[in-house]
Amino acid sequence: MQTDVTRMRNVAIVAHVDHGKTSLVDQLLKQSGLFRDNEQIHERALDSNDLERERGITILAKTTSIPYKDYRINLVDTPGHADFSGEVERIVKMVDGVLLVVDAFEGVMPQTRFVLEKALSAGLVPVVVVNKMDRPNARPAEVIDEVLDLFIDLGANEDQLEFPVVYTSAILGTATDDPSVPGTNMEPLFQAIIEHIPAPDVDVSGPLQWQVTMLDYNEYLGRIGIGRIARGVLRQGETVALIQRDGTVVQKRIQKLFAHQGLRRIEVNEAFAGDIVAVAGIPEIMVGETVADPANADPLPLLRIDEPTLEMT
Ligand code: GDP
C-alpha cells in the first residue's frame, strides 16, 4: 500500500455517457502492470454490482486504484445524470484533479457541460482527454475548440483555460500529446495525470478527520461509507467520534476498513490522510458526516445531498 502522500493522485473521471470512461479505465488498468498481460479483465472497471453481490465482501468499487511506477492513482467514477448533481459536486471536492473525457467525433454534449461546470467551480484544472481518436471521422481540432468555448462560457479561470490535452483511443490502448503522431500505449495519459494533477494537500500526523462522500450497500456488510481521509490515520478496530449531520457526537468503532486495489476494495488495518477508503459497521452513517479523533471531534463542512437514491436508504 502506498503511504507516501506525494505519490498519490485522486482523480475524478467525468464524461458524457458513452464517451469512453469505462474503456479508458480498463486500458489504464491493463497497462499498469496490476494484471498480467495474459490475464483478462473479466469485470469492466466502472460497471455494475452483480459480481460484488456474488463475492460478498470483495466489493467492486466506484473508485479504481491504479499503480503507476511508484505512484498510486485513485480514479473515481462520477454519475453522468443531472439527478446526481449533488454526488458529482461532492466527488469533485474529494479529488485534486479531473479527467474530462470527450468523444473525438461527437465533441461537447450536454453532460460534458454539466460535469465540467462542477469541476471548474471546485477549482480543479481538468486534463482534457479526447478519446476515440481511431474513429475515421475523428475531428480533434474542432472538438478542442468546442471544449475551449465551453470553458470560457462556464467562466473558467486562467489556469483552467491552460488545460492540458491528451488524445487517446481506449479501444487501441494508445495515447498521445500530439494528434498528428499516433500513440503506442497509455503512457502519455499516465504522465499527464502525474504531472498536472497535484498530490493531496493533507496533514497525515494530525488528529483523524474523515468525511463520508458516498454511500454503498452490501448484503453482508450493510451500509458502507466512502470518502477521503482529510487528516491523520484511520485504523480498523479503533473507537472514533461520529459527528452526525445535526451535530450530535456518538462513539463508534471502525469495524471494517477497506482501501482500493485495482477494481476491488481490500481490507486494510490502517489508511492515511489523502487516501479514499470505505468503512463498514456503522449502519446509520450518512453522507456529509465526519468521523474524527474523539479528543478532537471537529466536523468538516457539511456536503450537499439532493439525489433521489439517498432518500431510499
Ligand atoms: P462510458 O459510458 O463513458 O463508460 O463509455 P464506454 O467505455 O462504455 O464506451 C462506450 C462505447 O464506446 C463502447 O461501445 C466502447 O467500445 C466504445 N469506445 C470506447 N472507447 C473507444 C475508442 O477509443 N474508440 C472507439 N472506436 N470506440 C470506443
Nearest CA to ligand 1 atom 18: 20
Nearest CA to ligand 1 atom 14: 18
CA of 94 from ligand 1 middle (Å) equals 26
Binding-site positions for GTP? 18-23
The per-residue pLDDT string of the chain (313 residues; one tens digit each, 9 = 90 and over) reads 556 899 999 999 999 989 999 999 999 999 997 654 444 444 444 444 544 444 333 344 578 999 999 999 999 988 766 677 788 889 999 999 999 999 999 999 988 898 899 999 999 999 999 999 999 999 999 999 999 999 999 999 999 999 999 999 999 999 999 999 989 999 999 999 999 999 999 999 999 999 999 888 888 889 999 999 999 999 999 999 999 988 999 999 999 999 998 888 899 999 999 999 999 999 999 999 999 999 998 888 877 776 554 444 4
Using the atom order of ligand 1, give the atom closest to the CA of residue 15. 3
- Report the sign of the C-alpha dihedral through residues 156, 24, 10, 253, in that order: positive
Q: What is the pLDDT of residues 284-300, one digit of tens each?
A: 999 999 999 999 988 88
State if residue 106 touches ligand 1 by the CB under 6 angstroms criterion: no
Which residues neighbour 163 within 8 Å (Cβ) at sequence distance 6 or greater? Answer: 100, 125, 126, 127, 128, 147, 151
CA of 267 from ligand 1 middle (Å) equals 31
Can you tell me the ipTM of this complex? 0.99
Using the atom order of ligand 1, give the atom closest to the CA of residue 101. 3
Q: What H or E segment, with its residue span, contains residue 128?
A: strand 126-131
Please give the distance of CA 252 from its chain centroid, rounded to a whole number. Answer: 27
Q: Alpha-carbon distance 151 to 153, whole Å?
A: 5
CA of 14 from ligand 1 middle (Å) equals 14
Are the C-beta atoms of 229 and 202 separated by less than 8 Å? yes
Nearest CA to ligand 1 atom 9: 20
Q: What is the pLDDT of residues 198-249, one digit of tens each?
A: 999 999 999 999 999 988 888 888 999 999 999 999 999 999 999 998 899 9
Cell of 136: 475515421
State if residue 47 touches ligand 1 by the CB under 6 angstroms criterion: no
Number of residues in the chain = 313
Task: Record the pTM.
Answer: 0.89
